[in-house]
Amino acid sequence: MILITGGAGFIGANFVREWFARGDEGAVVLDKLTYAGNMANLADVRQKPDLHFVHADICDRTAVQQVLAAQRPRAIVHFAAESHVDRSIHGPAQFLQTNFIGTFELLEAAREHWSSLPAGERDAFRFLHVSTDEVYGSLDEADPAFCETTPYAPNSPYAASKAGSDHLVRAWHHTYGLPTLITNCSNNYGPYQFPEKLIPLMILNAIEGKPLPVYGDGRNVRDWLYVTDHCAAIQRVLENGRIGQTYNIGGNCERRNIDVVRAICAALSAQRPKPGGYESQIQFVKDRPGHDRRYAIDAGKLASELGWRPSETFESALAKTVRWYLDHTDWVAGVRDGRYRKWIELNYGDGAPKPA
């Protein structure tokens, strides 16, 4: 049995699904069920007898302690986080509360649980903290990719909150001996991603005939990682990673934002053609504050130590992602509530962004 925090969110739900697809070990999902986490993300695995769901907040140490005492997991995989840069700019307090204070509360509950285990179980226990490449800041075009020893230089409230949580996890290992692992991943995409993020937002706006808003000049670069590849990497680190180590997870796939949007248009044209295609819907909008220019991940440590490499190319995974959103309109409708529409208006105006 393992405990998965944030297991009803985008990456967490995909991890739960992959966990059961790859083995027969049970899991407890603990999730607060905020706007981006909902039970619909787990619909196809919800009835498994060895999947247990707990509706709770990681900031509630008592609730976490009760789960740990009742279920006695051999590991904690910590996904739970506020995770969108734009939202952190408009409301940083919640990011600090969940990402920093929540991780602290979880670490303290985990330390108490770990200390109470018999020697053999204590030696086998792991606390795996899932983080982001954004803690490293921004790269210039010619800079080498982020590696595990790159100095932290977060540039947004979101990145700062995740950097702080990474430091807590490291400190709890070095101070208390808690057997921790940290992974820092590049931009994820794939099924069940909340449609505030670039790829699902562009897919859905395109098929609905809405503008495709691209920040600034569209030349910001991200390293794109398909979510199931990310999940496979996390499982590899959980089982074989060296205690106290950090492993960067990337897709070996740097793309400019404008090129990603054009690739989405091309994939849509192949699967749902329309006269004139979709690129005419692209509109450049005012850049967001503190927009990092480039992220890139060097995942060489993960490859050399643990033998992991992504199995998907950007083209193959993007085609799967487009197909998934075209085939799951009911899921999309279910998550686009009033809070989502308010967020779109806050970031992109009245739904009709104008060229910068």
In order of 36, 181, 191, 253, 335, the CA distances from 324 in angstroms are 18, 32, 6, 21, 15
Q: In a 3-state reduction of DSSP, which class is residue 76?
A: strand
Q: Is 118 exposed, middle or buried (0-12, 13-18, 19+ CB in 10 A)?
A: exposed
- Domains, the chain: 2-192+226-254+294-313 (3.40.50.720)
What is the side-by-side order of every strand in the sheet holding 187-189?
187-189, 221-226, 254-256
Active site residue 134: yes
* Strands 254-256, 221-226: pairing kind: antiparallel
Active site residue 158: yes
In order of 63, 95, 247, 351, the CA distances from 59 in angstroms are 9, 12, 26, 35
pTM here is: 0.92
Q: In a 3-state reduction of DSSP, which class is residue 114?
A: helix
pLDDT value of position 346 = 61
With beta carbons less than 8 A apart as the criterion, state whether 181 and 76 touch: no
Rounded to 5 degrees, φ, ψ at 128 are -105, 120
Give, for all 356 residues of the chain, the pLDDT tens digit: 999 999 999 999 999 999 999 988 999 999 999 877 888 899 999 999 999 999 999 999 999 999 999 999 999 999 999 987 888 898 999 999 999 999 999 999 999 999 999 999 999 999 999 999 999 999 999 999 999 999 999 999 999 999 999 999 999 999 999 999 999 999 999 999 998 899 999 999 999 999 999 999 999 999 999 999 999 999 999 999 999 999 999 999 999 999 999 999 999 999 999 999 999 999 999 998 889 999 999 999 999 999 999 999 999 999 999 999 999 999 999 888 755 555 445 654 543 333 32
Residues facing 221 on adjacent strands: 256, 294
pLDDT value of position 83 = 82
In angstroms, the CA 116 to CA 332 distance is 43
With beta carbons less than 8 A apart as the criterion, state whether 184 and 149 touch: no
Q: In a 3-state reduction of DSSP, which class is residue 85?
A: helix
pLDDT value of position 289 = 87
pLDDT value of position 341 = 53
pLDDT value of position 356 = 29
Give residue 47's identity as a one-letter amino acid code: Q
b/e map 122-131, b = 16+ CB within 10 Å: eeebbbbbbb
With beta carbons less than 8 A apart as the criterion, state whether 4 and 16 touch: yes
> Angle at which helices 198-207 and 257-271 pack, to 10 degrees?
40
Full DSSP string of 222-236 = EEEEEHHHHHHHHHH
Residues facing 187 on adjacent strands: 224
Q: What is the DSSP letter of 99?
A: I
In angstroms, the CA 48 to CA 221 distance is 40
In angstroms, the CA 239 to CA 47 distance is 26
- Which is the catalytic residue, given 57, 86, 105, 158? 158
Q: In a 3-state reduction of DSSP, which class is residue 221?
A: strand
- Which is the catalytic residue, given 82, 134, 166, 254? 134
Which DSSP helix (H) or strand (E) runs through 92? helix 92-95
pLDDT value of position 353 = 35
Cα–Cα–Cα angle for 292, 296, 301, rounded to 5 degrees = 140
- Which is the catalytic residue, given 133, 166, 223, 254? 133
Active site residue 325: no
